[in-house]
Structures are given as C-alpha cells and as structure tokens.
Amino acid sequence: MSITPTLKAAARSAYRDVWRASSVTFRGDDTVLQAFRQKMRLDAVEAVREDKGPEQYEQLTKLYHEIAVVLRKNIVQGTRVGESDGKDVYRVNIRKETELGDNDTIKSPPPVDTSSRSARKREKLDAALPHSDSTSPPRPLNYSALKRAHKQRKIPELREEDLEESFVRGSGPGGQSINKTENNVQLLHKPTGIRVSCQETRSLSLNRARARKIILGKLDKLANPGLSKEEMKAAKQRERERRRRKKAKKRAELKASEDEDSD
C-alpha cells in the first residue's frame, strides 16, 4: 500500500518539529547541534530508502513527535563556567518548557566527584573539544584555512528518489510563454523538507536543472556550515576588502612618512 500525501505531510511536520526543538535545546553548542541534525538526516534518508508501509510511517511520525517533546521538556544543556572551592561550577540552561521534577536530588543534585580517573579523562576530553559560548564567539578562520577546509568538505549527494517534483503555471512578466505554460518547477527534498521554486527562464528543462542546483546549494550549506559555495564567495569578498584596506593603510603611512621627511 502506498503512502498517502496526508501521511507524508504529517511526517514532514514531525521532522520539522524535531528540527525546531533541537535548535532550542542545543542552542549555543554548535558541535552537538550539527551532530544531532546529521543523525536526523541519516535516519530520514534510511527510512525513505527502506520503503516502509503506512503503519511503520505512522509509528515513525509518532516517534518523532515524542522525541521533540523529550528534547523540549527533559533535556537541558550544562556548560562548565569555572571552579568554586575546588569544585566544578556549571551553568544549566533551564527553559520555560523544561519539566522540573519534585525529587530533592533533582532540585539539589549532589556534587560530582572529579577526583576519579574517569572524571579526569572527561575533563581532558572537554578541554580538547571545541565549545561554543554565547559570550565569546569562536574565532573565525583566516581565508587560507577556510579555503582548504572548503576543498576538503564532503559535498552532499542529491538523489532523484529523494526529490518530489511538480510543475505549475508561471506568473509575472514574460507573456504567454510564461503565464500559459507550466514552466515553474517546484522541488521538495523529502528527507530534509527543503522546498525550492524556480522560474528563472522560459525553458522547463533549464528551470529543472537550476532548481536542482539551488537545492544542492542549500544542502551544501546545511551539511557544511560556513564552508558552502555561497559562504565562500562572501568570505572571498571580505578577504578582498581586507586586503584593500591594508594596502590603503600602507599607502597612507608611506605618504605620511614622506611628508615628514620633506619637512
């Protein structure tokens, strides 16, 4: 039995629910957030490839909504902010959706023993991993390092079976070639829920190719934050402006020194 459009829409809604819940729960910790979203994408792609039946689809949809509830109510982020009297001090992000228990051990948890060997290993691991802090944003890479990372990034694969394509009548200027032909391409990437629309040309085949290029760029930006093609173009422009300012400053200093010598 095939999956109905209503069931597909419910699954996409559940996926977006978990996506939004993860944004709130893991805010300020980009490493955990990107790892969680990558696992979401892999699970969604695997579910589509397995061609599950309607009952399994409903179970997965229900499970995703339950995961979203757990993320909002039962998971909080703790960040180590320092030490006090030889004990680690953590800042816990309690939100209005967080479900607080009535147990005294939850409200006033006992101090964590940091004298054990495993605790010391955890401290070393935490010190080695990059952490994101809202008060001190991470230092951006220079353009050369960014360029190397861009070349080494893993470009996502765009599979035709993951796409849902439809064609609608065009709108706007262009005459009958636009307004009376279905050359507006609507493309949906089912695993991520990304939707794009393309009506850049009068040719349907060109619009189809460009819609896929647009959606691939969005997937690249999603899978490689800060390293996608569009972001590299912006970084290249910033690097040009930085070099221009540096040259202008150097010329101004040289002119000032020449003026002093002439005096």
Using the predicted structure, report yes or no on whether residue 8 has a pLDDT greater than 50. Answer: yes
Buried-state track 1-36, b at ≥16 Cβ within 10 A, e below 16: eebeeeeeebbbebbebbbebbeebbeebeebbbeb
Q: Please indicate whether residue 174 or residue 63 has the higher confidence score (pLDDT).
A: 63
For residues 258 and 86, what is the distance between their CA atoms, to the nearest angstrom?
Answer: 59
Question: What's the confidence (pLDDT) of residue 113?
Answer: 56
Range with the poorest average pLDDT among 32-36, 44-48, 110-114, 151-155: 110-114
pTM for the complete prediction?
0.40
Q: Which two tokens stand for residue 58?
A: 């409903």
- Mean pLDDT across 46-58: 75
Quick one: pLDDT band at residue 4, thresholds 50, 70, 90? Answer: confident
Question: What's the confidence (pLDDT) of residue 86?
Answer: 77
Range with the poorest average pLDDT among 57-66, 98-107, 251-260: 98-107
Using the predicted structure, report yes or no on whether residue 99 has a pLDDT greater than 70. Answer: yes
Q: Please indicate whether residue 216 or residue 129 has the higher confidence score (pLDDT).
A: 216
Mean pLDDT for the chain?
Answer: 76
Question: What's the confidence (pLDDT) of residue 116?
Answer: 60
Question: What's the confidence (pLDDT) of residue 131?
Answer: 46
Q: Which residues are 195's β-sheet partners?
A: 188
Question: What's the confidence (pLDDT) of residue 68?
Answer: 87
CA 204 and chain centroid, separation: 31
Quick one: pLDDT band at residue 130, thresholds 50, 70, 90? Answer: very low
Question: What's the confidence (pLDDT) of residue 139?
Answer: 42
For residues 91 and 31, what is the distance between their CA atoms, to the nearest angstrom?
Answer: 18
Range with the poorest average pLDDT among 19-28, 33-42, 142-151, 201-210: 142-151
For residues 190 and 41, what is the distance between their CA atoms, to the nearest angstrom?
Answer: 10
Q: 75 — phi, psi (to 5°)? A: -125, 130
Question: What's the confidence (pLDDT) of residue 129?
Answer: 43
- Mean pLDDT across 209-237: 85
Quick one: pLDDT band at residue 157, thresholds 50, 70, 90? Answer: confident
- Mean pLDDT across 5-18: 84
Percent of the chain with pLDDT over 90: 2
86 contact partners, CB below 8 Å, separation of at least 6: none
Reference 10, options 50, 52, 59, 43; nearest CA is: 59
Q: Can you tell me whether residue 171 is helix, strand or coil?
A: coil
79 contact partners, CB below 8 Å, separation of at least 6: 28, 29, 90, 91, 93, 131, 133
Question: What's the confidence (pLDDT) of residue 135?
Answer: 41
Question: What's the confidence (pLDDT) of residue 60?
Answer: 83
Using the predicted structure, report yes or no on whether residue 112 has a pLDDT greater than 60. Answer: no
Question: What's the confidence (pLDDT) of residue 26?
Answer: 84
